[in-house]
Chain A
Amino acid sequence: MLEVKSLSVSYGAVQALSNVSVHVAPGEFVSLIGSNGAGKTTLLNSIMNIIGNSKGSVTFDGKDVTKARTPKIVTKGMAIVPEGRRIFSNMTVRENLEMGGFTRPAGEVKTNLQKMFDLFPVLEERQTQTAGMLSGGEQQMLAIGRALMTSPKLLLMDEPSMGLAPLVIKEVYEKLKVLAAGGLTILLVEQNATMALKYAQRGYVLENGRIILQGKASELLGDNEVKRAYLGKEYKEKWER
Chain B
Amino acid sequence: MQFLYSGLTSGSIYGLVALGFNIIYNTTGLINFAQGEFVMLGGMLIYTLFCMFEIPFYTALPLTLAGCFIIGVLYERVFIHLARYKTEINLVTLTIAASIIMRDVAMHIWGRDSLRVDDYIPVVNVQMPGGVISSQSILIIAVSLLVAWGLNFFLKKSKYGKAMRACFDDQTAAETCGISVRNVRIMSFAVSSAMAGIAGVIISPITFVTYDDGIMIGLKGFAAAILGGLGNFWAAVAGGILLGIFESFSASVIPSGYKDAMAFFVILLILFIKPDGLFGRKKATRV
Contact = CB atoms under 8 A, between A and B. Distances in A.
Contacts of B245: none
Contact of A133 (B169, B175, B284): B284
Nearest 4 A-B pairs (CB), nearest first? A132-B284, A103-B178, A74-B178, A88-B169
Contacts of A133: 284, 286
Contact of A102 (B170, B178, B284): B178
A132 B165 CA distance: 14
A91 B177 CA distance: 14
Given A71-B179, A82-B173, A149-B177, 18 more contacts: A50-B175, A69-B180, A70-B176, A71-B178, A82-B172, A86-B170, A86-B176, A89-B283, A89-B284, A90-B169, A91-B165, A95-B162, A99-B162, A99-B163, A99-B166, A131-B284, A132-B283, A133-B286
A50 B170 CA distance: 13
A75 B179 CA distance: 10
18 contacts: A70-B175, A71-B175, A71-B179, A71-B180, A80-B176, A82-B176, A88-B166, A90-B165, A90-B168, A90-B169, A90-B284, A98-B162, A99-B162, A99-B163, A99-B174, A99-B177, A132-B286, A146-B177
Contacts of A74: 175-178
Nearest to B169: A88
Interface residues of B, number: 21
Contact of B176 (A91, A95, A132, A147): A147
Contacts of A131: 284
Interface string B174-198: 1111111000000000000000000
B144 to A, nearest CB: 25
Contacts of B175: 50, 69-71, 74
Contacts of A102: 159, 163, 177-179
A146 B176 CA distance: 10
A79 interface: yes
B127 interface: no
Contacts of A48: 176
A86 B284 CA distance: 14
A130 interface: yes
Contacts of A69: 175, 180
B93 to A, nearest CB: 26
B173 A86 contact: yes
Contacts of A132: 283-286
Contacts of A71: 175, 178-180
B231 to A, nearest CB: 10
B173 A90 contact: no
B223 to A, nearest CB: 25
The CB with the most chain A CB atoms within 10 A, among B165, B172, B173, is that of: B173
A130 B165 CA distance: 13
A199 to B, nearest CB: 23
B115 to A, nearest CB: 42
A87 B286 CA distance: 13
A100 interface: yes
Given A70-B176, A102-B178, A91 B169 contact: yes
Contact of A150 (B166, B178, B180, B286): B178
Contacts of B283: 89-90, 132
Nearest to A101: B177
A98 B162 CA distance: 9
The CB with the most chain B CB atoms within 10 A, among A70, A75, A133, is that of: A70
A233 to B, nearest CB: 36
Contacts of B173: 82, 86-88
